[in-house]
Amino acid sequence: MIEPAKPLAVEDVELALDQLKPFEQWRILERLLFLLKQNDSRQRKPQDLYGIWKDAFPEDFDIDKELYEIRHAWEEEWSDLDG
């Protein structure tokens, strides 16, 4: 009769890692990071940006006006240099 394998504990993995060469440890680390990223991307759902930012600005905030000022501020500085 085949006995089921006992679950690995963190200590078991650490002992096994100690027996590996550095490049083998790097391969395991790369694989672990890949699996963690893959897991994380499947579980994470996009957040609604409106819900995050809705209370950060006053009701009368005009985003288009602010963006225009930011994008054209250099023109004022440029004319100051000419003058």
| Look-up of token digits 């890949």 | 34
For 26-75, the pLDDT digits (tens) are 999 999 999 988 887 777 777 777 777 878 888 888 989 999 999 988 88
**How many domains does the chain divide into?**
1
Q: Is residue 23 part of a domain?
A: yes
**Predicted TM-score of the model (pTM):** 0.41
Task: Tell me the residue range of the domain where 39 lies.
Answer: 10-43
Q: With a cut of 60, say whether residue 82 has pLDDT above it.
A: yes
Q: Is 52 within a domain?
A: no
Whether 70 is covered by a domain: the verdict is no
Q: Decide if 38 is inside a domain.
A: yes
- Give the count of beta carbons closer than 10 Å to the beta carbon of residue 25: 13
Q: CA of 81: how far to CAs of 58, 72, 75, 77, in Å?
A: 35, 15, 10, 7
Tokens (6 digits) for 54: 């809705």
Q: What is the pLDDT of residues 8-40, one digit of tens each?
A: 788 888 999 999 999 999 999 999 999 988 887
